[in-house]
A and B are shown apart, each in its own frame.
Chain A
Amino acid sequence: MLTIRNLSKTYPNGVQALKSVTLDIPNGMFGLLGPNGAGKSSLMRTLATLQEADSGEAQLDEIDVLRDKDAVRRVLGYLPQDFGVYPKVSALDLLDHFAALKGYVHKRERKEVVDGLLQQVNLWNVRKLKLGGFSGGMRQRFGIAQALIGSPRLVIVDEPTAGLDPEERNRFLNLLAEIGENVVVILSTHIVEDVTDLCPRMAIINQGEVLLTGEPLEAIRSLEGRVWRKVVSKDELPAVQARLTVLSTRLVGGRPVVHALAESQPESGFERVEPGLEDVYFGQLTRHRAAIAA
């Protein structure tokens, strides 16, 4: 169980990345959903001991996350967003090196760990190849392998599926799903499906603030019967957006499809649809924006 209380961070340039963030993250997969620049990475990096917070508390079971960094690092598995590799080093060598850094200083022990992980993430056959030649998906799998060294109790994966093709994304999510229910896994993403597919609990975060936290299904249920859909023409769109609480607009076959939030059918042509997590997400963002604007 990871509890975060009133975590705040302001960067030297004045950007307030975290505004008194409070979250309770139980064991199991936890989705952290938010647009680019929402503060997801700041939160993740803070939890991963890579960044100081200005104020607040974070507790992983008995560990004070913000102060006892070494203890956190011993139980942490972290896959940063957009990480690089040494292009001329083989997957095996680099993972072996990481295992040593993780604390497996005895060779035999380390070999067991490394071999196991390479098999687990399905890189065993390519373990001797240079990392520079890996595809994005392979690299991400290598990333999760290193994050899993030493059976971590807290696994943090930052935007892991960005840029992966659907097949690699599935493969990767499968890997994540295997990690188990007895550890805290925080998955930050801006892709709603990642959360829908994997996470029993989630939080939506924007501009450093937690907008919503809870179970995705419950959040979806709260919109039950209030989401309306209509295909409009491009000319109509601005007017519709002005009149109604529009959750999202997306193109389907080149024509704008509007999701709007309303207790009853807002206008003719709107039909009721089953709400999805995406509607929850966009709903939260829209409301937040309105709140800020006001």
Chain B
Amino acid sequence: MFSEFLKFDLRFQVRAPLLWIGIAVFALSAFVATSSDAVQIGGSIGNVNRNAPLVILQFLNSFTILGLFISGAFVGGTLLRDFEMGTSELFFSKPIGARAYLLGRFSAGVIVSVLIYLGVALAMMLGAAMPWIDPARLGPFQLSPFVFGLCVFVLPNLIFTSALIMLFAATMRSMLGVYLAIMAFLVLSGVAGSYARDLDNLWAAALTDPFGARALGLTTRYWTAEDRNTLLPELAGYILANRALWLSLSAALIVTTLSVFKAQRAGTSARKPWFGKRAGVMPVEAAPTTTRTPRLTAAPAASGFAPAFRQYLKQTRFDTVHVLLSVPFLVMVAFGLLNLVFSLDATGPMYDTPLHPVTAQMLEAIQGSYTWLLMFVVMFYGGELIWRERSARLDGVTDAFPVPNWVPLAAKATALVAVVAIFMLVGALWCMGYQFLKGHHALEPLLYLKGLSLAAAPFILVGWLAIVFQVLCNQKFVGYLATIGILVSWMVLGTLDFDHNLVAFAQAPATPYSDMNGYGHFLVGWGWFQGYWTLFTLCALLVAAAFWVRGTPEPLRTRAEVAKLRLAGRPGALLASGVVATLAVGAWILYNTTMLNPYRASDTALDLQAGYEKTWRPTEGLVQPRIIATDNTVQIYPEQRRVTIDGKYRMKNKSPQAIGELHVYLDPDFKDATFSVPGASLKQHDEVNGMRVYAFTTPLAPAAEFDFGFHIDLPTTGFSNAGNPGRVHYNGTFFDNLGYFPHFGYQRGIEIEDRNERRERGLGDPRRMPKLETAPRTETYLSDDSDWIDFKSTVCTAPSQIALAPGYLQREWTENGRRCFRYEMDAPILGFFAYLSADWEVKKDRWNDVAIEIYYDRKHPYNVDRMIEATKKSLDYFTANFGPYQHRQFRILEFPGYARFAQAFPNTIPFSEAIGFIANVDDEEAVDYVFYVTAHELAHQWWAHQVMGADAQGSTLMSETMAQYSALMVMEQEYGPHRMRKFLKHELDSYLRGRGGEIIEELPLDHVESSQGYVHYRKGSLVMYRLKDEIGAEAINRALRNYIAKVKFQEPPYTVSTELVAELRAVAPADKQQLITDLFERISFYDNRAEEVSAKKLDNGKYEVTIAWQAAKKLSDGIGKESDLALADDIDIGIFARPKGGEEKDEKVLYLKKHRITAATGKLTLIVDELPYDAGIDPFNKLIDRVSGDNRKRVTVEG
């Protein structure tokens, strides 16, 4: 019987177009994605091959998300077809088992779904074999990843989705049920996603993701390019557990379906329906008919707009109530809320430390947790509402009423607005409650209104277009398919390097909110784009009204004729004016986004970069005079978002040869700029690339100086397509000289870094930092314009704001109604300075003779004192251990959270509102990154602003790694060693993950290149902490002090990392020299694990603990190929007790001592006083170990 159903269904599906359409669509997408460069599903970047096994797995896996729709159609659709067409009764009246019926349908659904994925796999193989694919990016063809992916991910995922959908379809017997299942599924994934950010919940994250994508991601998160190119994950650990869990859950779902399912008519079961539209025939006795003369009532109101409008209101209410009170809607709202609850509780963006619940964060959480859910809700209800009458077979009645066609259409469109509004309202209320409970009592309902209205617009537009599609297609599923086409169009446009919002439906520039700057200037561009799309959608709705189906559906040709008739006269005029208005707004947008502001599709921008490199690279190395002093007058007009710069550089020929030409670079988008170069004339102006060449009448002699003057006017006009935040704001301007000021000579920074993009444009390998061994050391890695400069500047701004630049305030005055400040530096600084302007609160304090000032937004007072505290403690430590602070002031300045970083300029630290000012570090366990970032940036006053490395590999060791080390030391003093563990755990995780994302090659710390943040920050922390653990902070600081004394404020040749390493070697004992080699000059790893840990209670009440371990040290090359290294390392062996029910933080150290480990296996027997809980090798993960979780093992107590 089962096989009969299976065969019948398979025959049916194979003959139905849906399967073939599905295969075609999926295979085509897979082919396009694998054969075009634009798409990077699966993570084939850098050294990872396009057909690397892991790429194939991730690709197949991400396609199974779409499989929801497949299962929905093939399993859900098949079952529902029976219920809806009434054929189920034909089946159920036959002597068949429900089991055979369901399992047959189910298996057929799964089998045809698998067919689709076979199509995907074939298309992927074909795509990778296309002749235009760069063979350098392909590894040898392997079948096994496809087999693995299909068996381990695709098939189980399809079984699960099918089982879930079958349960809902069979019990609720409606498309809504299927939709609910899909929603539930998406929410589950979302929940898993919010878990995954927390390092302590890895297992939860791995298990909760029904697709297994996160399990795969976690398993392979530390994989290097080599691993990705060659390995398949083992079917073990996270992956095995996840697959087993979801397969058994699938089995449970199937069993549940079989036991709940009754092979009978819907609604006749004695059991109460879960919910949904079921109600048997109620025995209602009608009173006998009395003969009565018919009441002939007055004829209804006259025709015209007014009554029609009232009909619209009535219909709107009718439809809205229907949707809002329907159980599925409530369930979906509940899903949305659930998602929101989880994302609110999800930990913060850095080090799992939470943020204060400011409204901006709440808005972000609402948007983040609704995105897909609400998109599907509006798409679904768009269809439901349009088909409501017809689904109930009521269209015959309603269509014959004297109602204009626009009335039901407009009513349904309005009902959709209500759907979106309810979601937003529920989210807002929840968040306000959350804020209130968290003690954040300054609620901002108006901000919610504003923010959520902005967020609602695209959902409403998509819903409306869904309505239009449903009307035009006049077939529910085709309509849904067309609607999903909107999503597809977004993805496709994104990959085609054509990302103008004028062609991507309902898209507009982002409107980030900042407490400092509100919605800033973003609303204007957003408004025009959204206005454009709204007009577009309204026109589409008008067309839909013309095509509105009344009565018997006619062929499209007839409908078109009818539509033409309906559009005659006023509606047509309205449509025409709507189209004109849309085009007019579109033209205005085009003018603003392409004429007033540059628009470059991503590949155009890259072409421009390539053009610059091709034209100007030959001039690289041309000796240029260097800046030795600068004095600028900067006018900031925050209300106009305009900046003018009157700059003066004092230039000097520091080279031994005469200089004939001055090559000046300024961003080519800065059109309004003039330069004055005394004694030189403009020889060439390359407007496209922003290069001007001045020829000196008489070449500039060695040591000769001159003043280079410039005037730059940077007005803001109109709005741009991308809506990039930019740097000049109504409140919270922050820009630096790197982006806004002229530079000299060839600008290496403009070169394309991506190897593959370069290859496509006929450029050679990406530029690397000069080799450590051969670098000329004539420049710092930060700038080739200058060494140490004298800095003076005047900066003016609006009267309500404070303007800031590095240096000490000399004078403040008012000029032409504007507030002006004069800053001068008393000592030379690096040629790296910033300008800021905002309306700040200022908190001042002192440390000895250093003035501490925190400039912050009045909404964010939370961490100001902590920053001051961190500053004082850092100054204590750094001055005592490294040497004197070169300035008499230290300032932290909050800037809008459009970017998330803090940056150290001389005595001036711009600090993003998003990372430090709203972090909530009150929790004892939280990593106090406010303290850490403050200490890190302050440390840069030594490690960058005193010691500056040459433009050579390894130089960020002296800036970033040392700043990390300095901050670690201050943090350890403040919080104690045990609180460092969480921080270091994150650093280890970031380092290991960073290796996997490496696109060139990983380098040892002393050769680190400036783009390798995961090495100089993350590995740097681990290396320095390990070194401190082994040779002590005192020795390290002695070395650093010596080093600083030798190299600070150095002129060329600049220092390189080998000099620092040499200082460290000088203070390290002989048996730690190998350690320094391993840490700084190699990429080395440990693979340590506790094998067996047992304890025996002795007669004297003590415990004898035996620990057996395995240890290994590995050497890795740049892409992750490993080889063995000889072990001769001092490694901690530890035994720990834990109070009953206690956690790791409550543990007590029973034994902890370094042992010299030289063999791959070892065993130790020790006596401890208490009952041990666990024990192991390197229990605190001080060593870089790719699997850090197996270093400890629970003690088994014998006897």
Contact = CB atoms under 8 A, between A and B. Distances in A.
Interface in B370-411: 388, 392-394, 396-404
B393 A82 contact: yes
Interface in A4-40: 12
A163 B427 CA distance: 50
Given A49-B550, A105-B311, A123-B286, A179 B397 contact: no
A50 B551 contact: yes
B295 A116 contact: yes
Given A50-B396, A52-B558, A133-B279, A151 B296 contact: yes
A103 interface: yes
A137 B279 contact: no
Contacts of A192: none
B315 A109 contact: no
B558 A70 contact: no
B764 interface: no
B299 A150 contact: yes
Given A73-B400, A120-B295, A85 B277 contact: no
Contacts of B288: 122
Interface in B300-351: 300-303, 306-307, 310-311, 314-315, 318, 322
B295 A122 contact: no
B1070 interface: no
Given A50-B400, A100-B311, A151 B297 contact: yes
Interface stretch (A124-132, A213-221, A283-291): A124-132
Interface string A101-112: 111111001001
Contacts of A48: 396, 400, 551
Interface string A140-169: 010100101111000000000000000000
Report, as a range, how many residues of chain B touch the other chain.
35 or more
Interface in B253-291: 277-284, 286-291
Nearest to B283: A135
Interface in B529-554: 550-552, 554
Contacts of A12: 555
A45 B311 contact: no
Contacts of B306: 105
B303 A150 contact: no
B392 A84 contact: yes
Nearest to A100: B314
B292 interface: yes
The residue among A86, A89, A98, A101 with the most chain B CB atoms within 10 A of its own CB is A101
A262 interface: no
Contacts of B301: 103-106, 109
Contact of A52 (B284, B300, B311, B562): B562
Interface in B1161-1195: none
Contacts of B393: 82-84
A76 B400 contact: yes
Contacts of A130: 279
Contacts, number: 167
Contact of B289 (A81, A86, A175, A180): A175
Contacts of A282: none
B1174 to A, nearest CB: 59
A150 B558 contact: no
A105 B314 contact: yes
B277 A87 contact: yes
A189 to B, nearest CB: 17
B293 interface: yes
A145 B318 CA distance: 19
Interface in B551-576: 551-552, 554-555, 558, 562
Interface residues of A, number: 65
Given A100-B314, A102-B300, A178 B293 contact: yes
A51 interface: yes
A69 B361 CA distance: 55
A287 to B, nearest CB: 30
B300 A80 contact: no
B1199 interface: no
The residue among B281, B299, B303, B396 with the most chain A CB atoms within 10 A of its own CB is B396
Contacts of A179: 294
Contacts of B297: 112-113, 116, 150-151
A226 interface: no
Given A116-B295, A122-B287, A86 B397 contact: no
B300 A150 contact: yes
B307 A105 contact: yes
A230 interface: no
Nearest to A84: B393
Interface string A60-102: 0000000000100110101111111111110000000111111
A100 B402 contact: no
A97 B300 contact: no
Given A51-B552, A105-B310, A174-B291, A70 B402 contact: yes
Contacts of B277: 87-88, 132
A37 B318 CA distance: 35
B289 to A, nearest CB: 5
A134 interface: yes
A272 interface: no
B300 A103 contact: yes
A73 B303 CA distance: 11
B298 interface: yes
Contacts of B291: 174, 178
A202 B471 CA distance: 39
Nearest to A121: B289
Nearest to B561: A52
Contacts of A149: 300
Nearest to B300: A103
Contacts of B296: 151, 180
Contacts of A88: 277, 279
Contacts of B555: 12
Nearest to B290: A122
B290 A101 contact: no
Contacts of B400: 48-50, 73, 76, 78, 80
A98 B401 contact: yes
Contacts of A49: 399-400, 550-551
B294 A120 contact: yes
Nearest to B294: A178
Nearest to A51: B552
A133 B284 contact: yes
B311 to A, nearest CB: 6
Given A51-B552, A178-B291, A101 B284 contact: no
Contacts of B388: 86
B552 A50 contact: yes
A85 B298 CA distance: 26
A84 B286 contact: no
Interface string B399-427: 11111100000000000000000000000
The residue among B283, B388, B393, B404 with the most chain A CB atoms within 10 A of its own CB is B393
Given A83-B393, A180-B294, A70 B303 contact: yes
A138 B288 CA distance: 12
Given A73-B401, A84-B392, A174 B289 contact: yes
Contact of A101 (B278, B280, B401, B558): B401
Given A113-B297, A146-B397, A97 B287 contact: no
Contacts of B397: 78-80, 83, 98, 143, 146
Contact of B292 (A104, A132, A178): A178
Contacts of B392: 84-87
Nearest to B403: A101
17 contacts: A45-B396, A49-B399, A51-B552, A70-B303, A73-B400, A76-B402, A83-B394, A84-B392, A87-B279, A88-B279, A98-B398, A99-B300, A103-B402, A109-B298, A134-B281, A143-B397, A178-B291
Closest 10 pairs (CB-CB, A-B): A50-B551, A103-B300, A80-B396, A84-B393, A133-B282, A105-B310, A73-B402, A101-B401, A100-B314, A51-B552
Given A101-B315, A101-B401, A103-B303, 7 more contacts: A101-B311, A102-B401, A113-B297, A133-B279, A150-B300, A171-B289, A174-B291
